[in-house]
Amino acid sequence: MGVGARDLRECLLIQLEARNERDTLPWRLIHDQFDNLVNRRFPEIARQLRCSVEEVQGAADTVATLNPKPGLQVSSEDPKYVVPDLIVERVDDEYVVLLNDRNVPRLRISSAYESVLREKKKTDAKNSGDNKTREYIQGKLNSARWLIQTIEQRRRTMIKVMNCIIREQREFFDKGIAFLRPLTLQQVARQIDMHESTVSRVCSGKYVQTPRGVFELKFFFSSGLETEDGEDVSARTAKDIIKTLIEEEDRKEPLSDQRIAELLHEKGLRIARRTVAKYREQLSILPARFRRRVA
């Protein structure tokens, strides 16, 4: 935890004590009513502590400001920054893909080694001596050329993949995440005439800066869900709708997974309750009973 605590309960108590808030209502919630607090049984807590439900809600809000992992604030681990490998810019009505390597020097073979090889050929021809040194240099030059060609090929492949993504996800770039379409690696591989594994390697750990933000290339690949009219939509689109519904819900009567599934069905999106629950968990959103507020 970072504060010498043995569990979450003790961790939160230590933080309140450091604020000189021992024996306050938030402290008592954690110390005496932790199980009820976790399960948000506010009426039961109010009855046992002889206070109003609104006061319990306010104390719970204070508890929510505490850090369950305070040690991360003083972690010596360096922050990790995402540097996009590609940049997508809108020029008039088109999107242009650029490699973000302006500050990276291009690899090239030193002319000095090629000169040494040429001189070695002349010397060997005159002396009819050992060719091992020349063969060694030639082998290293061939390896260097192969490495440069491989890097250039990967650069070209990255641009091909991104251009294909733009074609397939044009509505996302124009209108936003609600218009993200289902897309697979296989579809892209087929369009650019490459193997699926090649596309996967190119996309792995690569990021692109777009007018709509910075995304990992794999963000654009998603399974599909079918609407009532037979149209496919991206699973990420469904997640975005679920997130919006929960953000706009009545906090006193939060939406259950079943109700969210029904609302999605009204929007023409066929999705099961268990799928809603899976997507909600992937979005790190608590179930309805834990989102309910009494005030």
22 and 144 together in one domain = no
Residue 91 lies in a domain: yes
Residue 145 lies in a domain: yes
Q: How far apart, in whole angstroms, are the C-alpha atoms of residue 191 and residue 187? A: 6
Question: How does residue 295 score in pLDDT terms, banded at 50, 70 and 90?
Answer: low
Question: How does residue 1 score in pLDDT terms, banded at 50, 70 and 90?
Answer: very low
Residue predicted with more confidence, 192 or 233: 192
Which of 18, 45, 74 terminates a domain? The answer is 74
- Joined together, the tokens standing for residue 145 give 């050329």
User: How do residues 69-100 score in pLDDT, each as one tens digit?
Assistant: 887 776 656 667 888 999 999 998 899 999 88
Residue 102 lies in a domain: yes
CA dihedral 233, 237, 239, 243 (to 10 degrees): -140
Find the mean pLDDT for residues 216-238.
71
Tell me the backbone φ, ψ of residue 132, rounded to 5 degrees: -60, -40
117 and 215 together in one domain = yes
Residue 230 lies in a domain: yes
* Domain total of the chain: 3
Question: Quick one: pLDDT at residue 107?
Answer: 74
Q: Amino acid identity, residue 66?
A: L
- Report the share of the chain in percent with pLDDT over 90: 35
Q: Which domain holds residue 237?
A: 224-291
Q: What is the mean pLDDT of the chain?
A: 83
Instruction: Point out the least confidently predicted range of 1-10, 156-165, 194-203, 223-232.
Output: 223-232
Question: What CA–CA distances, in Å, run from 168 to 55, 179, 191, 227, 267?
Answer: 52, 11, 10, 19, 23
Element (DSSP H or E) covering residue 129: none
Full-model pTM = 0.57
Question: Quick one: pLDDT at residue 208?
Answer: 93
267 and 248 together in one domain = yes
